[in-house]
Amino acid sequence: QVQLVESGGGLVQAGGSLRLSCAASGRTFSVYAMGWFRQAPGKEREFVAAINWSFGGTAYADSMKGRFTITRDNAKNTVYLQMNSLKPEDTAVYYCAGSTLRLSALHSAYDYWGQGTQVTVSS
């Protein structure tokens, strides 16, 4: 099993920045890729970004490219999501997820999930 714990969410004004962290523990050697997803009230869970745990290859949702950056620190077993130029429509609960098979934009590809962290962007 892999445990994922997100942190770093909060309230920020439009145009501001936040950095989310996701600390992984347990059988982290089994994780191939880590992803960030988000879910706003009344909406489906949406892919944000993902990173290959070993090689660092990344993928982003089109709407996040240029504003969000996903990175990882293998020594700390931690994945980060740097979010810049935040907009009110970025308001959501952000979830960290781990996949043992592949880097994917599909939430069904992920085996492990964190509890989520709330990000609220005020206008």
Encode the chain (123 residues) as per-residue pLDDT tens digits: 999 999 999 999 999 999 999 999 999 889 999 999 999 999 999 999 999 999 999 999 998 889 999 999 999 999 999 999 999 999 999 999 999 999 999 999 999 999 999 999 999
Type of residue found at 5: V
Residue whose C-alpha is closest to residue 81's, from 49, 104, 56: 49
pLDDT value of residue 14: 98
Residue 91: count other Cβ atoms within 10 Å of its Cβ.
18
What is residue 54's DSSP assignment? T
Say if residue 20 is exposed, middle or buried (CB neighbours under 10 Å; 0-12, 13-18, 19+). Answer: buried
Rounded distance between C-alpha atoms, residue 93 and residue 84, angstroms: 16
